[in-house]
C-alpha cells in the first residue's frame, strides 16, 4: 500500500526540463499572450535580447490604447444657446391641494351595541411656496402650472387623513412676484419663502358633530378646494455694479477683461441678449459682482426694442459703470442719452454712484476724443482698452472704492448690503 502511494506521488512531480526547453516554453507562452492581447485591442511589442551565452530571452512591453480620462476643456456656449437656458420672466398658475373629505362611520364591535360615531376628519391640502435659492440662476425650470397635493380622506376608528405635502418652487435671488401688475413680494435673500397659495382645509367627520342633542350624527363635510392664483415672476439681476452702454460699446469684452465671466463677443451690435454676471475677486477675499447689461437704444424707456426688459436688470445695481465707445463720432452725447433713458424709466436711477469708462483707447483717434469728453464731463473718467487690457487695474481699484462706500451705507440701496 505504501509503495503504491509513493509511485502515485512520483508521477505528480513536475518534470525537469533543460534550459533550451525552458526558453521554448517561455517563447510559446509569450506568443500566446501576444495573440490574446491583440484580441482585446491592446498593443504589444516584443523585444529580443541576446545574452552572452547565446540564448535569446524575450521581454515584452504593452501599452493600453484607451481614451484619455482627463477633463476636457469645457466649450463656451454661444449666445443663442444661452438665450434658451436663461429666462427672466414667467407667468405661472398655482393651484393648491384640496382638503380630504370627512368620513361618516359608526363604531362596530361585538358586545358594544351603541359604539357611537367614529368618522375621522380629512387631511388638509398641500400649499405652494416660492423659495429664493442662490444656486438657481434662471427661471427656465419654472413650469406654467403647479398643482398642490390633495389631502387624504378620513377613515373609521377616528383616523384622520394625511395632510398634503407642501410644494416648493425654487427661484433665483432677485425674483419679484407680481399679481395683476402689482408687486407682491421681493425675494432678495437666500432661503426667503413666500406662501403663495394655501391648501384647502380638510372636511369634518361625523365624530366632529357628536353632541348631547345629536348622539348619532350622520353628517360629514367634504374638504374645501385649495386657493388658486395667477402670478408673474420677474428676475432682476442681483449685482453690485452694472455696465450700461449703447450696443457694441465693448461691455462684454470689458467684463471678460476684469473677471472670469465669458460672455459672447462679436463685431456686431446686440451680441449680448441676456445679462451676464462676472465676479471681480480681491486679495482680501472680497468679491464684487458686475453685470453686463444688454445694449440700450434711444427710446428704451418706451419699450422700444427690448428696452424695458433690459432696464429692469439695472434697478438692482447699487452703482453704475457707463461704458462709452470712443470710436463713435460723438461719444459724449451717448452719456446724455443713457442718463435720459434711465431717468425716464425710474426717476433718480442715473444719480446713483457711478463711474465713466472710456473704452477702446487702443484706437488712434481715441486720445483726441478723450480730451473733448473731459471738457464736457466734470466727473472722473477712466480710459481703458478692453481688447488689450490697458488701464484695467485703475478700473478694478475704483470699483472697489465704490463697493466700500456701498458697504458703509453711502449707496442708495436699502436694507442689508448684498455680499457675494
Q: What is the mean pLDDT of residues 306-335?
A: 79
Q: What is the mean pLDDT of residues 111-134?
A: 90
Question: Whole-angstrom Cα distance, residue 165 to residue 189?
Answer: 24
Question: Domain with 308 in it: what CATH number?
Answer: 3.40.50.300
Residues 275 and 398 in one domain: yes
Inter-residue contact 257 to 199 (CB < 8 Å)? no
| pLDDT over 90 (residue 98) | yes
Q: How confident is the model at residue 354 (pLDDT cuts 50, 70, 90)?
A: confident
Q: Note whether residue 200 is domain-resident.
A: yes
Residues 229 and 255 in one domain: no
Q: Note whether residue 331 is domain-resident.
A: yes
Q: What is the mean pLDDT of residues 50-56?
A: 47
Predicted local confidence at residue 250, as pLDDT? 81
Inter-residue contact 232 to 178 (CB < 8 Å)? yes
| pLDDT over 60 (residue 64) | no
Predicted local confidence at residue 417, as pLDDT? 52
Inter-residue contact 289 to 279 (CB < 8 Å)? yes
Question: What are 138's three cell numbers?
Answer: 434662471
Name the 3-class secondary structure at 185. Answer: strand
Question: Domain with 121 in it: what CATH number?
Answer: 2.70.210.12
Domain count, the chain: 2
pLDDT in tens, 379-419: 888 999 888 888 889 989 988 888 888 877 644 444 445 55
Q: Note whether residue 170 is domain-resident.
A: yes
Q: Note whether residue 45 is domain-resident.
A: no
pLDDT in tens, 130-152: 999 988 878 888 999 999 999 99
Residues 206 and 321 in one domain: no
Question: Whole-angstrom Cα distance, residue 233 to residue 138?
Answer: 11
Q: Which of 163-167, 280-284, 302-306, 323-327 has the highest mean pLDDT?
A: 163-167
| pLDDT over 50 (residue 46) | no
Domain that holds residue 321: 239-409
The domain boundary, picked from 179, 205, 236, lies at 236
Q: How confident is the model at residue 65 (pLDDT cuts 50, 70, 90)?
A: very low
Q: Note whether residue 59 is domain-resident.
A: no
Question: What are 178's three cell numbers?
Answer: 407680481
Q: Which of 7-21, 89-103, 107-121 has the highest mean pLDDT?
A: 89-103
More confident residue, 187 or 113: 187
Length of the chain: 420
Residues 324 and 398 in one domain: yes
pLDDT in tens, 244-293: 888 877 888 888 888 877 776 665 555 566 677 788 888 888 888 888 87
Q: Note whether residue 416 is domain-resident.
A: no
Predicted local confidence at residue 20, as pLDDT? 57
| pLDDT over 80 (residue 362) | yes
Mean pLDDT of the chain: 77
Q: Which of 76-80, 241-245, 263-267 has the highest mean pLDDT?
A: 241-245
Residues 304 and 405 in one domain: yes
Inter-residue contact 89 to 189 (CB < 8 Å)? no
Half-sphere exposure for 238 (CA within 13 Å, toward CB) = 22
Predicted local confidence at residue 160, as pLDDT? 94
Question: Whole-angstrom Cα distance, residue 355 to residue 14?
Answer: 91
Residues 251 and 388 in one domain: yes
Predicted local confidence at residue 414, as pLDDT? 47
The domain boundary, picked from 236, 266, 301, lies at 236
Amino acid at each position: 500500500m505504501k509503495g503504491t502511494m509513493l509511485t502515485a506521488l512520483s508521477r505528480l512531480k513536475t518534470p525537469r526540463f533543460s534550459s533550451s526547453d525552458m526558453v521554448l516554453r517561455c517563447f510559446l507562452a509569450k506568443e500566446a499572450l501576444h495573440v490574446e492581447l491583440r484580441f482585446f485591442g491592446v498593443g504589444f511589442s516584443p523585444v529580443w535580447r541576446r545574452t552572452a551565452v547565446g540564448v535569446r530571452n524575450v521581454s515584452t512591453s504593452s501599452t493600453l490604447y484607451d481614451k484619455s480620462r482627463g477633463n476636457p476643456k469645457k466649450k463656451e456656449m454661444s449666445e443663442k444657446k444661452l438665450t434658451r437656458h436663461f429666462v427672466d420672466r414667467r407667468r405661472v398658475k398655482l393651484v393648491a391641494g384640496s382638503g380630504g373629505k370627512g368620513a361618516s362611520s359608526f363604531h362596530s364591535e361585538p358586545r358594544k351595541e351603541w359604539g357611537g360615531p367614529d368618522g375621522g376628519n380629512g387631511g388638509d391640502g398641500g400649499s405652494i411656496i416660492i423659495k429664493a435659492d442662490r444656486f438657481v440662476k434662471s427661471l427656465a425650470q419654472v413650469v406654467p402650472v403647479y398643482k398642490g397635493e390633495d389631502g387624504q380622506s378620513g377613515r373609521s376608528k377616528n383616523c384622520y387623513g394625511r395632510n398634503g405635502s407642501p410644494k416648493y418652487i425654487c427661484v433665483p435671488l432677485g425674483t419679484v412676484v407680481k399679481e395683476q401688475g402689482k408687486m407682491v413680494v421681493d425675494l432678495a435673500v437666500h432661503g426667503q419663502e413666500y406662501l403663495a397659495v394655501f391648501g384647502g382645509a380638510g372636511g369634518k367627520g361625523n365624530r366632529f358633530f357628536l353632541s348631547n342633542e345629536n348622539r348619532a350624527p350622520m353628517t360629514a363635510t367634504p374638504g374645501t378646494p385649495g386657493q388658486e392664483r395667477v402670478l408673474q415672476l420677474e428676475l432682476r439681476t442681483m449685482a453690485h455694479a452694472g455696465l450700461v452702454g449703447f450696443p457694441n460699446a465693448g461691455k462684454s469684452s470689458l467684463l471678460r477683461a476684469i473677471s472670469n465671466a465669458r460672455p459672447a463677443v462679436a463685431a456686431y451690435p446686440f451680441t449680448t441678449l441676456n445679462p451676464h454676471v462676472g465676479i471681480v475677486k480681491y486679495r482680501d477675499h472680497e468679491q464684487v459682482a458686475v453685470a453686463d447689461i444688454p445694449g440700450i437704444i434711444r427710446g428704451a424707456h418706451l419699450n422700444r426694442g427690448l428696452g424695458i426688459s433690459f432696464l429692469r436688470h439695472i434697478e438692482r445695481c447699487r452703482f453704475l459703470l457707463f461704458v462709452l465707445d470712443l470710436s463713435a463720432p460723438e461719444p459724449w452725447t451717448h452719456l446724455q442719452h443713457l442718463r435720459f433713458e434711465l431717468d425716464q424709466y425710474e426717476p433718480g436711477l442715473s444719480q446713483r454712484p457711478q463711474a465713466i469708462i472710456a473704452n477702446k483707447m487702443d484706437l488712434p483717434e481715441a486720445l483726441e476724443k478723450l480730451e473733448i469728453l473731459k471738457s464736457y464731463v466734470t466727473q472722473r473718467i477712466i480710459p481703458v482698452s478692453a481688447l488689450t487690457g490697458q488701464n484695467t487695474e485703475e478700473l478694478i481699484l475704483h470699483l472697489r472704492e465704490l463697493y466700500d462706500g456701498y458697504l458703509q451705507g453711502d449707496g442708495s440701496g436699502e436694507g442689508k448690503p448684498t455680499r457675494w
